[in-house]
Structure 1
């Protein structure tokens, strides 16, 4: 068991890592939400137009982040040596609302390079642990030296009102700390700054209903990381990282296009060889006492201008060609699509008259990208299922889930007709109905319901099913006696001979 000094030292180390990650997480979240500063502009352009386009962004970052997440759907968990999905694990998943929250976790991983899952037992309901997906700005995990999976400690830090809270998870115990959140001002004396530093130190929370530290009955750190694009030597990589530079370039091109549209989208005319028109200036008696220039805005409204100068002439230059900018923007969006393996029709918005096979081929990059993310997230979710079993006291199931697997919905987007045709061919090859139903996209619970409904229909009307088997609409099971006047149906050997 760790001492309080050791626990505080771990909190300080892990908090320092959270602080280091903070600016990058904030930057990625801002770009996903469309908060893009105007980059790559000259000093003169930024000086005159920076504020004008401060709140404008042509946000492609969100499309790139959402495209794989919308295809990542967990349908169940299956332990090793099991032939069916685990119903109890799926019940925990459903009760904790993880159908929706898992999408938040996957999105956090794609945008911020990682997200986390926390599992902890509920004393009021030992069979239903509490499972939550956690913000990467609040959580961090320390691993054993030389390992990317064996967790040594985990920290969750958050703010509530005027206090900061921190929970340190260790394999044997859980520590809870708190400290006041102080206002940051620059006019404090040295003595007050020393007082603030003393107050800002973490202190154990006073808890009435539980000890601090409290034992960890699972025996392992109950937090799991879901990395995005993990590497052997460095941190995981956010999908937003590779989009930011091109996103900035696209925003600048739009700003320049809008500026050119404002100033040079119409033919411009200039009057040469003429003085500016003037009108007489009269006093109270109506006597001319001078002249004053005519307001140019009046000519713009009246659309009439007169000159008496014999050398006056009008010059003109054509409107700017704005298609140059739109062509560059399309090229930039195309580069962004290629770099992120996002289908062009997701970004450009132009649908050609393509066959389904061509559309599936166009989405191959996105499908592979999503499958990679399912592999990375699947390892963490499998460990999450193991933690759920440990929290429920099911050590055997926990050990089986170490080599179990996560069940996912098909990431390919197909029409119902195309899917039904493919499944029918697989059925003719001998694939069982349960496997086909899972391939269709049903969850294991829905598959069990469909099988029960099929059995109920057979019990209610067995003649209909028998007729279907005889007519060949479904594979025949066994030899069925023929009706009067009908030829007997050949068995498999006779069909082969024919």
Structure 2
């Protein structure tokens, strides 16, 4: 109970910041940098223009993080058993959600548990930091305890649930009518005795003093707020200044009436884009005119500057933020522009690969009751984070293979084929080799040298197929 209360208190303390980060990714943040008096005056008549650069920054990295398998240290191929567990838990899709939440809200979590229906396939679920919180052991830096909280609606009332994960047990709690935590009578505790907390954090940018990580959006949020403010000001300016403004001298408020003869409010006069000056007793004349419209280039230049700042901080190519040139970029220029982004994705692969390896070791522990020694050198296989052309990848892979630097399977992995496709190719190679062996054993020695050449033509041939020097061919008479 002490662990539960402590973890819940720590989780509540950071929920506000986590929800704020989530709002920025979803484009639901509040308008910043606008004077409160102006917001009060405009009320609901101004809607914020949201430029979703935070989503662009996160998705640009996440799109390059695809897990393709797991391999034990001494194996050349990906392990089929671990990949079956991965696929059975739909982690192809859920791993992407874990990566997005980790990039946005500093971390996400993966929980591993036993499967009562299939003991060979442990249950692995991805969890949001809005519902899960973990605390580390300061000596080993392993997870010492974790809690998951959720709310269930039942008969028009909300019931708070919590699951406490400890190294040797898992305990379920529920709040009673007095809002006190008590053990859930419908879910008895599980004293599994594994010696490990079955929760693995996926942390973005952990540091020695900040093991909980840092959001990828932290340096981008102030610039994003400024861009949304500038874009909103641009729309307000477009309403009042980008369209020619008319003026009238010699008229007063009594001259503005609707169809029923009622005075028109000041707001409607503003919306009608007419500036009026009251009548002068000495001059009864009326003068009408029009001011020229204003240019919005100052807003455009400011947004362009802010976009370049975001590109610099996030390591994104400027073309990702809409900066285009008259001449299209070459393939070499594109690869050069993406060098920082690719390196950033590769750093994530190395850090998060260790987290996914811990998840699969927990799955082996729950399935087999122990972790084999070679699982300590488990390796996560990732898809190439860069974007080379198909021809360049094929050329580089073939050179490595023909030079006998890498085997055929590694060549196919470098070309981007999935493990299932590589296995199918190997099956076809085996069938072709067996077929060739059977032909050789049957006396067909041509199977050793490949397909037979086409037969020589027999009989008279058309002039364009005759060899040189025959019947006046090109070589006749020199």
- Counterpart check, 1:160 vs 2:152: yes
Taking the TM superposition and a 5 Å limit, the aligned residue runs for 1:59-98 are: 59-98=52-91
Name the CA distance, whole Å, in 1 between partners of 2:164 and 2:217: 30
Name the CA distance, whole Å, in 2 between partners of 1:278 and 1:250: 42
Q: Is the 8 A contact 1:38 1:53 kept in 2?
A: no
- Could you tell me which residue of structure 2 aligns to residue 250 of structure 1? 227
Change (3 A) 1:356 1:175: same
- Could you tell me which residue of structure 1 aligns to residue 203 of structure 2? 227
Q: Is the 8 A contact 1:72 1:409 kept in 2?
A: yes
Q: Is the 8 A contact 2:66 2:382 kept in 1?
A: yes
TM-score, normalised to structure 1's length? 0.78
Please, which of 173, 179, 191 is the counterpart of residue 215 of structure 1?
191
Q: Secondary structure at the match of 1:402?
A: helix
Shift of 1:354: 1.3
Q: Is the 8 A contact 1:383 1:401 kept in 2?
A: no
Q: Is the 8 A contact 1:458 1:465 kept in 2?
A: no
- Could you tell me which residue of structure 1 aligns to residue 113 of structure 2? 120
Shift of 1:33: 0.8
Change (3 A) 1:53 1:92: farther
Shift of 1:443: 2.8
Number of aligned positions between the proteins:
422
Name the CA distance, whole Å, in 2 between partners of 1:373 and 1:13: 31
Change (3 A) 1:386 1:468: farther
Please, which of 45, 56, 74 is the counterpart of residue 52 of structure 1?
45
Q: Is the 8 A contact 1:383 1:402 kept in 2?
A: no
Q: Is the 8 A contact 2:31 2:48 kept in 1?
A: no
- Could you tell me which residue of structure 2 aligns to residue 282 of structure 1? none
Shift of 1:146: 3.2
Name the CA distance, whole Å, in 2 between partners of 1:146 and 1:35: 40
Q: Secondary structure at the match of 2:122?
A: strand
| 5+ long unaligned stretches in structure 1 | 1-7, 181-195, 280-290, 302-306, 471-498
1:430-466: CA deviation from partner (whole Å, max 9, x where unpaired): 2211111111222333212111122323444685783
Q: Is the 8 A contact 2:246 2:290 kept in 1?
A: yes
Change (3 A) 1:139 1:310: closer
Q: Is the 8 A contact 1:144 1:151 kept in 2?
A: yes
Name the CA distance, whole Å, in 2 between partners of 1:465 and 1:55: 73
Name the CA distance, whole Å, in 2 between partners of 1:53 and 1:311: 37
- Could you tell me which residue of structure 2 aligns to residue 481 of structure 1? none
Please, which of 386, 391, 394 is the counterpart of residue 420 of structure 1?
394
Name the CA distance, whole Å, in 1 between partners of 2:34 and 2:452: 72
Q: Is the 8 A contact 1:37 1:54 kept in 2?
A: no
- Counterpart check, 1:344 vs 2:318: yes
Shift of 1:65: 1.2
Name the CA distance, whole Å, in 1 between partners of 2:425 and 2:220: 44
Shift of 1:120: 0.6
Shift of 1:123: 2.3
Taking the TM superposition and a 5 Å limit, the aligned residue runs for 1:356-435 are: 356-393=331-368, 395-397=370-372, 399-430=373-404, 431-435=406-410
- Could you tell me which residue of structure 1 aligns to residue 469 of structure 2? none
Output the aligned Cα RMSD. Answer: 3.0
- Could you tell me which residue of structure 2 aligns to residue 333 of structure 1? 307
- Could you tell me which residue of structure 2 aligns to residue 143 of structure 1? 136
Q: Is the 8 A contact 2:167 2:194 kept in 1?
A: yes
Name the CA distance, whole Å, in 2 between partners of 1:78 and 1:206: 42
Q: Secondary structure at the match of 1:160?
A: strand
Shift of 1:327: 1.1
Q: Is the 8 A contact 1:121 1:392 kept in 2?
A: yes
| 5+ long unaligned stretches in structure 2 | 256-260, 274-278, 438-445, 454-478
- Counterpart check, 1:9 vs 2:2: yes
- Could you tell me which residue of structure 2 aligns to residue 496 of structure 1? none
Q: Is the 8 A contact 1:337 1:343 kept in 2?
A: yes
Please, which of 39, 64, 70 is the counterpart of residue 32 of structure 2?
39
